[in-house]
């Protein structure tokens, strides 16, 4: 089981000084975080895609290109690329180019996104939410299979044999499907034989076991080999010297993020009790000291029938850069070795 970090490149206010970290400084901090993840041996670093004022990740390929030039070993990828609102031709070209720069270290994780701002921004209808993704995923996979593509659909002009360049170093370029909790999404990934990245942002991870089994069963029935049916998890988490320190460090920013989202979506405001419960042994947050986090990672993997990779999403608008660097260091030097030994 490989471990990594995902970032949504949140705008940050330093919790100790009140200093508002500007976009330029935040980008420099982000690249330092990715470089550190590479040095401490983490397997992957993913960049999300959002089109909101509180995040700086609207152009992931640009960030990943800078990261590729400053790292040598770590795999880099999207977390996730909002394929529904993009042109699959451009997405493939961008990530194929990244793969050449990174010498074969790129993963493309595609999904529909948990926010909807991209749809009106790019002139799309939310009524076409599922159809857009299915059609564009089909085209993306066709492009991956052949440099000359003949294809037609409802949401993009047809291709009549044009070539799509450049081709990536990896053949094929790894394409993962990012999913939430919809059974149809798990089945679709299984039928296509694509690796699955499950975003778990609440509840209990073990509740996803039937959906993961549904994915594996669909893949097997479609004739795909078990080794093709990889499962990854995208989860919220943080590592500190102690479990209490991890929770106290992360909670203020977590509350700020989820209070805003709850207000937008008409949910009840989040509470510390809710946060602590979700951070417990069976909850969705992987929060604590290295031993606690490692033990939980291994246990959850077993509950889901084996997980190939887990990425901790550490975005937080009230997390000091130094604390985030320390969390990444502990994940690589303390958590990952424990997980490897347990396996």
The predicted structure's pLDDT at residue 146: 98
Query: What CATH number does the domain containing 63 carry?
Result: 3.20.20.30
Give the per-residue pLDDT at 95: 98
Element (H, E) at 1: none
* Average pLDDT score, the chain: 96
For the record, the structure tokens of 114 come out as: 């948990």
Give the pLDDT band (50/70/90) at residue 176: very high
Q: Structurally, how many domains does the chain consist of? A: 1
**Contact between residue 38 and residue 71 where contact means Cβ atoms under 8 Å apart:** yes
Other Cβ atoms closer than 10 A to 314? 23
Write out pLDDT tens, residues 316-336. Answer: 999 999 999 999 999 999 999
Least reliable range by pLDDT among 111-120, 143-152, 212-221, 308-317 = 111-120
Radius of gyration of the chain from Cα atoms? 19
Tell me the mean pLDDT in the region 163-178: 98
Max Cα distance, the chain (Å): 59
**Phi first, then psi: what are they for 89, rounded to 5°?**
-65, -50
Bridge partners, residue 82, by sequence: 111
Q: What average pLDDT score do residues 38-58 get?
A: 97
pLDDT band for position 136 (50/70/90)? Answer: very high
User: What value does the mean pLDDT take over residues 137-150?
Assistant: 98
Q: Which domain holds residue 277?
A: 2-342
Q: Cα dist. 4→34, 227, 276, 287, 310 in Å? A: 10, 20, 23, 15, 6
Cross-strand partners of 287 = 238
Band the pLDDT of 113: cuts 50, 70, 90: confident
Q: What is the pLDDT of residue 268?
A: 86
- pLDDT tens digits, 243-266: 999 999 999 999 999 898 888 888
Closest alpha carbon to 21 in 47, 49, 54? 54
Does residue 215 have a cis peptide bond before it, meaning omega lies within 30 degrees of 0? no
What average pLDDT does this structure show over 216-221? Answer: 98
């Amino acid at each position: 089981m490989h471990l990594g970090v995902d970032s949504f490149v949140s705008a940050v206010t330093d919790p100790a000084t009140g200093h508002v970290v500007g976009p330029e400084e935040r980008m420099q901090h982000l690249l330092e975080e990715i470089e550190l993840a590479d040095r401490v041996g983490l397997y992957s670093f993913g960049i999300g895609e959002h089109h909101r004022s509180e995040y700086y990740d609207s152009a992931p390929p640009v960030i990943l290109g800078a990261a590729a030039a400053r790292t040598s070993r770590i795999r880099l990828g999207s977390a996730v690329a909002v394929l529904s609102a993009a042109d699959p031709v451009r997405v493939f070209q961008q990530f194929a180019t990244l793969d050449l720069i990174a010498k074969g270290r790129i993963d493309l994780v595609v999904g529909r996104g948990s926010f909807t701002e991209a749809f009106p921004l790019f002139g799309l209808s939310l009524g076409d939410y599922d159809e857009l993704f299915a059609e564009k995923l089909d085209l993306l996979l066709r492009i991956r299979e052949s440099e000359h593509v003949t294809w037609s659909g409802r949401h993009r002009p047809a291709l009549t044999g044009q070539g799509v360049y450049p081709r990536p170093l990896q053949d094929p370029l790894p394409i993962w499907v990012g999913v939430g909790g919809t059974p149809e999404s798990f089945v679709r990934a299984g039928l296509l034989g694509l690796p699955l990245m499950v975003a778990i942002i609440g509840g209990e991870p073990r509740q996803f076991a039937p959906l993961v089994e549904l994915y594996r069963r669909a893949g097997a029935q479609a004739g795909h080999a078990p080794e093709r049916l990889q499962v990854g998890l995208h989860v919220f988490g943080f590592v500190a010297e102690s479990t209490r320190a991890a929770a106290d460090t992360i909670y203020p920013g977590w509350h700020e993020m989820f209070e805003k989202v709850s207000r937008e979506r008409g949910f009840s405001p989040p509470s510390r009790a809710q946060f602590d419960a979700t951070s417990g042994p069976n909850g969705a947050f992987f929060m604590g000291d290295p031993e606690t986090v490692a033990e939980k990672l291994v246990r959850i993997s077993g509950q889901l029938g084996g997980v190939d990779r887990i990425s901790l999403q550490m975005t937080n608008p009230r997390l000091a850069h130094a604390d985030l660097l320390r969390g990444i260091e502990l994940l690589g030097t303390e958590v990952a070795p424990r997980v490897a030994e347990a396996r």
